[in-house]
């Protein structure tokens, strides 16, 4: 198996950006949605070193993310994940270049290797599935500001950051034996599994739970104080349908793989996982993440009218937009992926992350074959030098033959 450390894929290389609340590490498992005929956009991304995921779990997570849709159904065989290769089109437009032959059944328990994937049915067609967001992209720690009540409301005492009532806290300490459910270390810190005030939004389908139902010992647990902020930011949770396996969206030193003290009911942890996935897992295309495609098109027009072949070094222009404009310019001008790959490798000083990604992805299906790139690059260089040689010959011929012609005249 190829080590994921040698296969990191930076999504920006394809004009995608990972949403701000997705894992801070470079994602190497990327899921794309295929739209007719071959248009793709990113659905989610994660780092396999931090969050191990199998095709079976990913299928179930996608169902959790899509449960808001009336068309959502659990993903079942013969649906398969297949690796795909993505190429550039227009500004922030990406298409499937190749679909890998390897298949990963949607119910496979084996970990997915690093790669870029899409779902397909038994006939090789894109799997019709209503991917999408299911919850506002806010974390538990921001809930008290985003969906809260006034300080004079009696329910204000049930904010996520408010102390858990002592009666519930005592029951949780007794159940958890005074140990953090994530690390197994002694701790006196107790917090909510989900914010009681979020209950009407975090549960699917509607209507949500009443506040009183959330005031339960099943909705509180023991946690180490140094992990409290991470949990409130939805960077750590547990999957009750996978033996309460701990799911990480950040790199934490952790001695446990499963929740230490499983509650009698997993309903709150199920909601915590659903909300965390909605916050942390989805990615999005750059045009949906505050990056203006119009700015890239303006730059593309400048490149087309002028003779610039280098990225502008201006702080007024977002780097991602400038890179996308140059990438699209070369794609339209040369219409060859070899030129794109050559530009990315030659402009390493302008975008070190892109060049390191290209060079470190050896053996990974999402990048072009190294031999093909070398061959195409070699041919491009031959044509380049042949063109320059013709210009030089013409110049020498003009110098030598020009005076003689004037003398004869």
Q: What residue segments make up the domains of the chain, in order of their start?
A: 1-133+282-368, 140-267, 374-409
Burial 26-56 (b: 16+ CB within 10 A, else e): bbbbbbbbbeeebebbbbbbbbbbbbbbbbb
For residue 262, what are its two tokens? 């499983």
Tokens 């042949």 correspond to 386
Question: Cα(172)–Cα(87) distance, rounded to whole angstroms?
Answer: 52
Would you state the pLDDT for residue 320?
Answer: 67
* Pure H helices in 47-135: 55-66
pLDDT tens-digit series, residues 138-165: 888 888 777 778 888 888 888 888 889 9
Would you state the pLDDT for residue 200?
Answer: 73
* Averaged pLDDT of the chain: 75
pTM, 2 dp: 0.74
pLDDT tens-digit series, residues 291-347: 667 777 888 888 777 655 554 444 344 466 777 777 777 777 765 555 555 555 544
36, pLDDT greater than 50: yes
Would you state the pLDDT for residue 314?
Answer: 43
In contact, 86 and 116? CB cutoff 8 Å: yes
SS3 358: helix
Would you state the pLDDT for residue 365?
Answer: 32
Peptide bond into 380 cis (omega under 30): no
Give the list of residues 6+ apart from residue 206 with CB closer than 8 angstroms, or none: 200
In contact, 109 and 117? CB cutoff 8 Å: no
Would you state the pLDDT for residue 43?
Answer: 84
Predicted confidence band of residue 353 (pLDDT cuts 50, 70, 90) = very low
SS3 373: helix
Predicted confidence band of residue 44 (pLDDT cuts 50, 70, 90) = confident
pLDDT tens-digit series, residues 223-266: 999 999 999 999 999 999 999 999 998 888 777 899 998 888 88
**E strands, 50-112, in order:** 80-88, 94-99, 104-105
pLDDT tens-digit series, residues 241-251: 999 999 998 88
Question: Cα(80)–Cα(82) distance, rounded to whole angstroms?
Answer: 6
214, pLDDT greater than 80: yes
* DSSP string for 284-306: EEGGGTT--HHHHHHHHHHHHHS
For residue 180, what are its two tokens? 């953090």
SS3 116: strand
pLDDT tens-digit series, residues 99-134: 999 999 999 999 999 999 999 998 889 988 776 555
Would you state the pLDDT for residue 286?
Answer: 57
In contact, 367 and 358? CB cutoff 8 Å: yes
For residue 362, what are its two tokens? 């050896």
Predicted confidence band of residue 389 (pLDDT cuts 50, 70, 90) = low
Would you state the pLDDT for residue 377?
Answer: 42
Sign of CA dihedral 210, 212, 215, 216: negative
Selection from 215, 262, 216, 209 nearest residue 240 by Cα: 262
In contact, 247 and 238? CB cutoff 8 Å: yes
172, pLDDT greater than 90: yes
Predicted confidence band of residue 279 (pLDDT cuts 50, 70, 90) = confident
Q: Of 168-182, 288-302, 394-408, which one has max mean pLDDT? A: 168-182
* Pure H helices in 184-307: 199-202, 211-214, 228-232, 267-280, 293-305
Phi/psi at 265 (nearest 5 deg)? -135, 135
Question: Cα(145)–Cα(113) distance, rounded to whole angstroms?
Answer: 39
DSSP assigned state of 378: H
SS3 135: coil
202, pLDDT greater than 60: yes
* Cβ neighbours of 241 (radius 10 Å): 14
51, pLDDT greater than 60: yes
């Amino acid at each position: 198996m190829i080590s994921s450390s040698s296969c990191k894929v930076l999504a920006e290389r394809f004009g995608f950006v990972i949403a701000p609340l997705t894992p801070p590490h470079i994602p190497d498992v990327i899921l794309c949605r295929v739209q007719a005929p071959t248009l793709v956009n990113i659905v989610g991304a994660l780092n396999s070193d931090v969050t191990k995921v199998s095709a079976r779990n990913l299928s179930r997570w996608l169902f959790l993310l899509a449960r808001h849709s009336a068309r959502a159904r659990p993903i079942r065989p013969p649906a398969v994940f297949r690796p795909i290769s993505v190429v550039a089109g227009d500004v922030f437009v990406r298409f499937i270049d190749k679909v890998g032959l390897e298949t990963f059944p949607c119910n496979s328990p084996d970990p997915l290797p690093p790669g870029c994937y899409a779902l397909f049915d038994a006939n090789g067609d894109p799997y019709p599935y209503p991917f999408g967001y299911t919850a506002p992209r806010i974390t538990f720690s921001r809930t008290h500001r985003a969906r809260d009540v006034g300080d004079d409301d009696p329910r204000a005492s049930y904010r996520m950051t408010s102390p858990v009532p002592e009666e519930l806290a005592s029951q949780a300490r007794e159940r958890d034996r005074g140990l953090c459910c994530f690390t197994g270390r002694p701790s006196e810190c107790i917090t909510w599994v989900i914010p009681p005030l979020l209950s009407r939004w975090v549960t699917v389908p509607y209507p949500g739970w009443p506040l009183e139902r959330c005031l339960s010992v099943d909705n509180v647990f023991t946690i180490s104080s140094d992990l409290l902020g991470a949990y409130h930011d939805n960077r750590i949770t547990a999957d009750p349908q996978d033996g309460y396996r701990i799911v990480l969206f950040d790199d934490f030193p952790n001695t446990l793989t499963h929740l230490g003290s499983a509650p009698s009911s997993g309903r709150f942890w199920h909601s915590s996982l659903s909300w965390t996935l909605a916050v942390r897992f989805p990615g999005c295309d750059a045009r949906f993440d505050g990056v203006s495609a119009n700015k890239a098109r303006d730059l593309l027009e400048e490149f087309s009218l002028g003779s610039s072949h280098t990225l502008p070094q201006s702080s007024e222009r977002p780097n991602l937009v400038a890179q996308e404009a140059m990438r699209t310019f070369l794609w339209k001008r040369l219409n060859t992926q070899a030129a794109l790959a050559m530009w990315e490798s030659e402009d390493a000083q302008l975008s070190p992350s892109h060049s390191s990604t290209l060079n470190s992805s050896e053996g990974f299906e999402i990048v072009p074959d190294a031999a093909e790139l070398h061959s195409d690059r070699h041919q491009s260089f031959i044509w380049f030098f042949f063109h320059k040689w013709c210009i030089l010959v013409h110049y020498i011929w003009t110098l030598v033959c020009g005076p003689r012609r004037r003398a004869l005249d």
